[in-house]
Amino acid sequence: MSVFNDKKIEKIGILTSGGDGPGMNAAVRAVVRCSLNQGLAVDGIMRGYAGLLKEEIIPLGHRSVSNIINRGGTILKTARSKEFGTPEGKKKAVQILKQHKIDCLIVIGGDGSYRGATELFEVHGFPTIGLPGTIDNDLYGTDQTIGCHTAVNTALEAIDKIRDTAHSMERVFIIEVMGNKSGYIAAEVALGAGAEEVIVPERKFDFEAMCRHIRKGNDRGKISWMVVVAEGAGKAHEIASTVTTMTGLETRFVVLGHVQRGGVPSGRDRILATRLGAAAVNLVIRGEFGKAVGILQDEINIIDLKNATHKEFKHLDEFRNLVKILT
């Protein structure tokens, strides 16, 4: 029997928070089934921290997570909550959790959700565990976050289609991808799509040099370009108009947007989510809280939740250089 601060852990609360990502359902399923197998009860909290403050809490049984491993989105729904962001909001959240006899909370989400879970643990002493669920892959302590792999594949599928029209109509395309303040998705997508340029928030970008490069290429007979921009680095429509002005070439832009958040989770995301869900329940069994689970070099990796936000994308420069070299 797991114990935290002399209190027996008998019931786990689970919520998904912030932007949804394909694979979150697989994580919920793993947490529910592993917990029940260990004799722990599970309550699902609907709509993230917002739903917690409204006491939208339902018991989850074995069957409530049937047939969801292959479904995008999250059966628990998700939201962003201003009220939870306040100290009063967090105090109220802890009161509600205790009223419902929830002994610890597993939070599936990104950096904002992790910060909330950290404060519940560090400031209010409520046992929490973070499970990395965001397409952005911007958390520390894990090579991948749940949803990123599928999102990259979705973006690649779209770009493959854009490439057909770009080449046929001899145009420059600026394609904006998600990622919040991170260029991870953009760099992976650019490399996988064989794009000519990638613009990320983590590095300065020389627009004039890019336009000169496009012009020169055009002089040599090149007729189409794919430029991937991370949403945190600039707006595709503004970059497109700069490129038109500076090169005189016909330029279009596409904002891939929320399409990247949906769809059937890839096998990799389902497996990642399942391993991480099981690892989170193992932490509960061991009575270890204030932790974030991740996978580094294919091994389960546990770090303090408070250290899990902010991540420098390790292969960023390698990926950017490759995009340039392979043009």
Q: How far is the CB of 103 from ligand F6P (least distance, A)?
A: 29
Q: Looking at 179, 201, 265, 290, which residue binds ligand F6P (CB under 6 A)?
A: 179
| Helix/strand/coil for 48 | helix
Please, what sign has the CA dihedral across residues 234, 250, 243, 200? positive
**Contact region with ligand F6P (CB under 6 A), list: 60-68, 96-104, 172-180, 197-205:** 172-180
Stretch that binds ligand F6P, among 90-98, 131-139, 306-314, 316-324 (CB under 6 A): 131-139
12 neighbors 104 (Cβ within 8 angstroms): yes
Choose between 178 and 279: whose C-beta lies nearer to ligand F6P: 178
CA dihedral 214, 215, 219, 222 (to 10 degrees): 20
Q: Which of these ranges, 68-76, 89-97, 175-183, 287-295, lies near ligand F6P under the rule CB under 6 A?
A: 175-183
Which amino acid is present at 154? Answer: T
Which is nearer to ligand F6P, 127 or 132 (by Cβ)? 132
Q: What is the largest CA-CA distance in the chain?
A: 74
Piece of 173-181, 194-202, 204-212, 233-241 that binds ligand F6P (CB under 6 A): 173-181
Which three-class secondary structure state does DSSP give residue 59?
strand
Binds ligand F6P by CB under 6 A, chosen from 74, 113, 128, 180: 180
Q: Give whichever of 135 and 226 is closer to ligand F6P, judged by the CB atom.
A: 135
**Least distance between ligand F6P and beta carbon 182 (Å):** 8
- Residues 99-118 binding ligand F6P (CB under 6 A) are 110
Measured CA to CA, the distance from residue 104 to residue 307 in angstroms comes to 20
- For residue 98, with 0-12 CB atoms within 10 Å meaning exposed, 13-18 middle and 19 or more buried, which class applies? exposed
For residue 82, what are its two tokens? 């201003």
| Stretch 37-76: interaction string toward ligand F6P, x if CB under 6 A | ----------------------------------------
- Smallest separation (angstroms) from ligand F6P to the CB of 77: 13
Under rule CB under 6 A, residue 35 binds ligand F6P:
no
**Least distance in angstroms from the C-beta of 197 to ligand F6P:** 20
Establish whether 136 is a catalytic residue: yes
With b for 16 or more beta-carbon neighbours within 10 A and e for fewer, the 20-58 pattern comes to bbbbbbbbbbbbbbbbbeeebbbbbbbbbbbbbbeebbe
Whether residue 81 contacts residue 50, with contact meaning beta carbons closer than 8 Å, is answered with yes
Residue 132 sits in the site that holds ligand F6P (CB under 6 A): no
Q: Provide the β-strand partners of residue 199.
A: 229
- Which of 20, 43, 111, 136 is the catalytic position? 136
Question: In Å, how far from its chain's centre is CA 295?
Answer: 14
By CB under 6 A, name the one of 43, 103, 119, 136 that touches ligand F6P. Answer: 136
Q: What amino acid positions are annotated as catalytic residues? A: 136
Judged by the rule CB under 6 A, the positions of this chain that interact with ligand F6P are 18-19, 110, 134-136, 178-180, 231, 261
